[in-house]
Amino acid sequence: MEQRKIAILVDSGCDVPPDFVAKHNIFVAPLKIIYRDREYEDRLDITPQQIYDRLDQEVPKTSLPGAERVNSLFDKMVEQGYEQALVITISSGLSGTHNLLAMLAQQHGKLDVHMVDTKNIGIGAGQHAMMAAEMLEEGKSLEEVLAALETSIVQSRIFFYLDTLEYLAKGGRIGKVSAIVGNLLKLRPIISCNRDGIYETVEKVRGNAQALAKAVSLVVTEAGKHVRFAVAVAHGSAKDEAARVMSELKRRLPHCERFISTDVSPALSVHTGPGLIGIAVQALPAN
């Protein structure tokens, strides 16, 4: 691998687990969390729990990674001897992060950069970076990795449901009236990303138990379309429920090649509030 020196950069919204980031030397561009009194960098100086603890006082705004931080990451790649970079981001349909990183990479000009838009969010995006890192370490060429990513992105899905619609409404993701009606009826929408990488509601069910059962059912059906696949469960301050979901998925998907458990980033926490469960199914390349 040394002769290749291909770096991987993700934004923090991809939720690649920190231990995987450290093990595979993945570079992470942190999104920003903006409160009235100061700015924070996602996961560097603020945690998801700190977001939840302050939501009743202030719902912060989120913003793109800082140009200075991103440029320092590109500089660090060059210092470490990398000549190429694979930049893997959350959906350009949900965030301007992809376009910002592409522009900064071009302006930096010292690396041969390849941009990958996952059309996904959270660990649904992060799984692609994890697959790319492992393929590169196995000695696959950049062309093979890019081809595998292109196929996997089209075939992979994430499903998540929320405990409340309040924060999606406050962030302008859905209308306030829809949120009020949904909360009154105890409706739990199951949300995914469509082919353009934009949120879509795939089901509406009443109550958490039904939402959990429906989300698991959707995942099992999706996994059944693939010979090889990986599954990730992410949560927003809902560790016990995530563990129950994971246990059920392991029981129903014995052929899954990898199960990942993680929490969602502070940036995503702002828009969803506590109680989120996300389940991502990633199609893996055929052997």
pLDDT in tens, 83-116: 999 999 999 999 999 999 999 999 999 999 999 9
Q: Has residue 2 got a pLDDT over 80?
A: no
Residues ≥6 apart with Cβ < 8 Å to 74? 85, 104, 105, 108, 110, 111
Is residue 193 located within the same domain as residue 250? Answer: yes
- Residue 77 sits in a domain whose CATH number is 3.40.50.10170
For 113, the token pair is 């950069």
Is 1 contained in some domain?
no
pTM confidence score: 0.92
Is residue 190 located within the same domain as residue 239? Answer: yes
Number of separate domains in the chain: 2
Is 222 contained in some domain?
yes
Confidence of residue 206 (pLDDT cuts 50, 70, 90): confident
**Mean local confidence (pLDDT), 178-190:** 61
- Write down the pLDDT at residue 286: 82
**Percent of the chain having pLDDT more than 90?**
77
Q: Has residue 147 got a pLDDT over 80?
A: yes
- Write down the pLDDT at residue 181: 47
Least confident of 149-158, 194-203, 210-219, 232-241: 194-203
Strands (E), the chain: 6-11, 27-29, 32-34, 39-41, 61-63, 84-89, 112-117, 157-161, 187-193, 199-206, 229-235, 258-263, 277-283
